[in-house]
Amino acid sequence: MKFLYLSEPDMIQAGVKDMPACVSVMEDMLITLNQGDYIMGGQNHNSHGTQLCFPDHPAFPGMPANADDRRFMAMPAYLGGKYQMAGMKWYGSNVENKAKGLPRSILMMMLNDKETGAPLALMSANLVSSYRTGAIPGVGAKYLAKKDATTVSVFGPGVMGRTSLLAITAVCPHLTTLKVKGRGKRSLDAFLAFAKANCPTLQHVIVCDTLEEAVRDSDVILMTSTAPVKEKDFPYINGDWVKKGALICMPSAARFDDDFLTRCRLVVDNTKLYEAWAEEFPYPSYEMVQIIGSKFTDLVHEGKIAASDVLDITDIMSRKIPARTSDDDIIIYSVGGMPVEDIAWGGTVYRKALKEGIGVELPLWDKPDMA
């Protein structure tokens, strides 16, 4: 028995950075989800994953203490449709990694045969994760943004901001102006260099001093910054700043006034994911989950909106419901992140690598010792 090992350079050679292809795969994956041909973790089959969270004050020598974004997480899934693959993404994350010149999260993924459980591939998964994360806002923008959108703003010019911008410019061909708000010069400079090299339609770039400046007059608003621990500290967006007809894509967290949210069109990437989070993190769950769709379920719990007010992107993609009731609709789109996305994109890249002879074949055994 053997399996394929794919390093990050191998993954790049096999096309992991092909964003238009990734957006297309994410569209197909969402439709497969809507048909029910998948399983994620937990009894409800919709869990985001299983997470190790460290205590604030460890009682044992050597045990890490809780800190911003310090965790280990396993994200298993099976995805049917044209993928027919099981697997798991596993990662450790620590925001302090940046000071060491490392990514905040370091990810690996294992793909397995759905019948035998045999390993098929072990791959570097940072790019799988960042590209599939960016592609989901791209799918949202394709179906939810106004067709004449010209201005996109990004709050949080990190890796998620880069890949989300790449996906959105791939599906919104009339975008010509980029507004960006960041905190650190290093990440901002890297983001601007990435945009210049990869998003040629963006001819005008405005570096903003405030979130308000970034939000005003923008057709598509991307919230991609790492969120603080407490909801009261989430970046605040006043509804009066938001242009009529704007799309706010939310792979990260932000704070809005409740009455503004109740006037918006609220869309999620997978309704069942947020129902699962509401079970796992009892009300109020938004602070714990830090994905805006959990704020939607909190509002349902409070009776401020009905469950039917939260729309699933696949119902819009399949034209069961319209994306907009008017050109003035403000849409807030929640991006939760699901392991089925990793299986879909990782599996696609793996199959291309296999076809093109990319990667290193590693032995597991010639004959199992205790079969």
Dist CA 83 CA 78 (whole Å): 9
Q: Comparing C-alpha atoms, which of 231, 256, 258 is closest to residue 241?
A: 256
* Backbone angles phi and psi of 234, in degrees to 5: -60, 145
Q: How far separated are the first and last CA of the chain, in Å rounded?
A: 13
CATH no., domain 2-129+340-363:
3.30.1780.10
Q: What residues does CATH 3.30.1780.10 cover in the chain? A: 2-129+340-363
Residues facing 17 on adjacent strands: none
pLDDT digit string (tens) for 91-130? 998 888 888 888 889 999 999 999 999 999 999 999 999 9
User: What three-state secondary structure class fits 355?
Assistant: helix
pTM of the model as a whole: 0.93
Contact 127, 133 (CB under 8 A): no
Q: Answer yes or no: is pLDDT of 69 > 80.
A: no
pLDDT of residue 318: 94
Pick the CATH number of 136-337 from 3.20.20.210, 3.40.50.300, 3.40.1110.10, 3.40.50.720: 3.40.50.720
Contact 166, 22 (CB under 8 A): no
Dist CA 320 CA 312 (whole Å): 10
Quick check: bond before 235 cis, omega within 30? Answer: no
pLDDT of residue 193: 96
Contact 71, 54 (CB under 8 A): yes
Q: Answer yes or no: is pLDDT of 321 > 80.
A: yes
Contact 151, 215 (CB under 8 A): no
Q: Token pair 């045999």 is at which residue?
A: 118
20-to-163, 166, 221, 345, 353 alpha-carbon distances in Å: 11, 9, 20, 12, 18
Dist CA 334 CA 345 (whole Å): 20
Dist CA 244 CA 111 (whole Å): 44
Which is more confident, 262 or 46?
Answer: 262
pLDDT of residue 328: 97
Dist CA 43 CA 275 (whole Å): 12
Mark 336-359 as b/e (b = at least 16 C-beta within 10 Å): bbbbbbbbbbbbbbbbbbbeeebb
> Which residues does 275 contact at the CB level (< 8 Å), separation at least 6?
44, 46, 297
pLDDT of residue 42: 85
> Which residues does 140 contact at the CB level (< 8 Å), separation at least 6?
247, 249, 267, 269, 313, 333, 335
Dist CA 321 CA 107 (whole Å): 37
pLDDT digit string (tens) for 230-284? 899 999 999 999 999 999 999 999 999 999 999 999 999 999 999 999 988 889 9
pLDDT of residue 88: 97
What's the whole-number average pLDDT of the chain?
A: 95
How buried is residue 296: exposed, middle or buried, by Cβ count under 10 Å (0-12/13-18/19+)? Answer: buried
Q: Comparing C-alpha atoms, which of 167, 203, 181 is closest to residue 333?
A: 167
pLDDT digit string (tens) for 133-170? 999 999 999 999 999 999 999 999 999 999 999 999 99
Contact 75, 341 (CB under 8 A): no
Q: What residues does CATH 3.40.50.720 cover in the chain? A: 136-337
